[in-house]
Structure 1
Amino acid sequence: MTTVRIGAETEGEPRSPRAFEWAPVRAVWRRELALYRRYWASTSFAAMVEPTIYLLAFGYGFGSVIGAMYGYAYRDFVATGVVSTAVLFIGAFGGMFNTFIRRTFQHTYDAMLAAPVDVHELVTAEASWLAVKAGVYGCAPMLVGMAFGLDPSWGMLLVPLIGFLTGLGFALFGMWVSAIVPSINTFDYIITGALTPMFLVAGTFFPVEQLPGWAATVAQFNPLYHCVELVRGAVFGTLGLGSLLHVAVLAAFAALMWCLAVWKMRARLID
């Protein structure tokens, strides 16, 4: 006897979560890839232009005054730090705005859940797709930095993986936020009050050790700080056993955000 699985719950009978399956994730990825083929040019343009502006403004503007930072040319310091900014914006903004629009205005997720796709599979697929984009476009500042004199190294091959792990956490963060805000305008509070301080106080443009003691301690809990440390360690060849702590923090952040995103998205879409 063949069992037919219905994607959406029957009226009056809420569907309980089922075991995780990869087939729905692949299906969502195919949809995302089909959409991406339409807008890849604009996304790629922004990913290349923004780090170029940062490098010109900070790397050469401030760099002409500062010169070196912790033994590195300041432009190289900025080029490796801006990787985290690209990863943050691609992951968090995509998780917030794309998810909110698809859930509230386009009702895309209602259609997906009518198929054999559960909320935890949907969240995983959407977030992992954004994480892949973050890992790829996170390399753009590094490539721009190489054009401005950053020396290439084998450790740069690890940067997409670092960007993926960091982007996964922030994509899930964005999806969680999109499920708890009352309107799309509320994102202004998140961008100004949370995301902007995160990338400013992450060692992106200056070492966190330059901050007051309490602020430097708080910065240790910023996932972007750990991303910056891993990227610089990979590019400059200074990774060590201590780097495992940075990886553990980013993995724990992604795991926590996955639980929160699935919980609130399920409440919004099903419960």
Structure 2
Amino acid sequence: MTAPSTRAEGPALRWFEWAPVRGVWRRELALYKRYWPSTSFAALVEPTIYLLAFGFGFGAVIGAAYGYDYRDFVSTGVVATSVLFISAFGAMFGTFIRRTFQHTYDAVLAAPVDVHELVTAEASWLAAKAGLYGCAPMVVGMAFGLPPSPGMLLVPFIGFVTGLGFALFGIWVSAIVPSINTFDYVISGVLAPMFLVAGTFFPTDQLPSWAATAARVNPLYHCVELVRDAVFLRLGVHDLVHVAVLLLFAALMWSLAVWKMRARMID
């Protein structure tokens, strides 16, 4: 029987308290200190492989895309891929394991913590990691010739907002699947098409018109566009649309994640 989400007796608490969020973050930070080498290794190796395979492989044939050197095009696109994998995968598997096998959330909710605070804390932690490790492809890209620019300083914030939406998406998915094996459907049927059809490795206007239109509703596409405009110093008013889409996606996913997690955790 799962623990009910009740507040301890004492002074009245607001609907949302930041103290539980800070508590979850301290726990995550303590765990992160143990496994950061493996996470950092993967964050650097994966974009290196992508750049070697696509940047030098396809790049030798393509040469340029949208007026950019193809290696620069790929290295900025892979930022979004890294953000997606770190946030969505971490949320899906981590949340499912802690809720189903470790029963970590039963202990957390026995304290004066509510479900919406727990979801916010878990998602924001993963978003912070996504924003940090999402910069790794740029670092690798600079080693392969990507020119540094002041716009790169905005990439961690773009990664955070994008990662927040996909972390909440992962938490929502973890609450609706019947078993951990069901994630295979989500990974193959949802996440893989998302990062392939987001302008990551090729311009979306090269797709059929219906596919190009569908790509515009992909949140990852808006992350890719924001990253490229920031890195190549092409930010403009049009980028407010990309920001708005990412914020709306995060708000929608927050509502769904809290709703389904509450249904799972509260009797």
TM range (shorter): over 0.9
Runs of at least 4 residues off by over 3 Å: 6-10
Matched, 1:133 2:129: yes
The offset of 1:154, in angstroms, is: 0.2
CA contact (8 A) 1:7 1:118 kept: no
- Please say which of residues 62-71 and 146-155 is displaced more in the overlay: 62-71
What is the TM-score of this pair, normalised by structure 2?
0.96
Calculate percent identity across the aligned residue pairs.
80
Q: Which runs of 5+ in 1 are unaligned?
A: 1-5, 11-16
In structure 2, distance between residues paired with 1:236 and 1:18 = 43
In structure 1, distance between residues paired with 2:192 and 2:149 = 30
Q: Tell me the equivalent position of 1:246.
A: 242
The offset of 1:9, in angstroms, is: 3.9
1:143 aligned residue (139, 144, 158): 139
In structure 2, distance between residues paired with 1:199 and 1:268 = 29
Matched, 1:24 2:20: yes
Q: Tell me the equivalent position of 1:49.
A: 45
CA contact (8 A) 1:18 1:118 kept: no
The offset of 1:7, in angstroms, is: 7.5
Q: Tell me the equivalent position of 1:14.
A: none
Q: Which runs of 5+ in 2 are unaligned?
A: 8-12
Matched, 1:62 2:32: no
In structure 2, distance between residues paired with 1:7 and 1:239 = 47
CA contact (8 A) 2:47 2:78 kept: yes
- Count of aligned positions: 260
The offset of 1:70, in angstroms, is: 1.3
Q: What is the letter of the counterpart of residue 248 of structure 1?
A: A
- Deviations 1:79-105 (CA, angstroms, capped at 9, x unpaired): 000000000000000110000000000
- Deviations 1:170-196 (CA, angstroms, capped at 9, x unpaired): 000000000000000000000000000
What is the TM-score of this pair, normalised by structure 1?
0.94
How large is the RMSD of aligned CA atoms in angstroms?
1.4
CA contact (8 A) 2:215 2:221 kept: yes
- Deviations 1:20-57 (CA, angstroms, capped at 9, x unpaired): 00000000000000000000000000000000000000
In structure 1, distance between residues paired with 2:79 and 2:111 = 37
Q: Please state whether the residue corresponding to 1:217 is helix, strand or coil.
A: helix
CA contact (8 A) 2:91 2:170 kept: yes
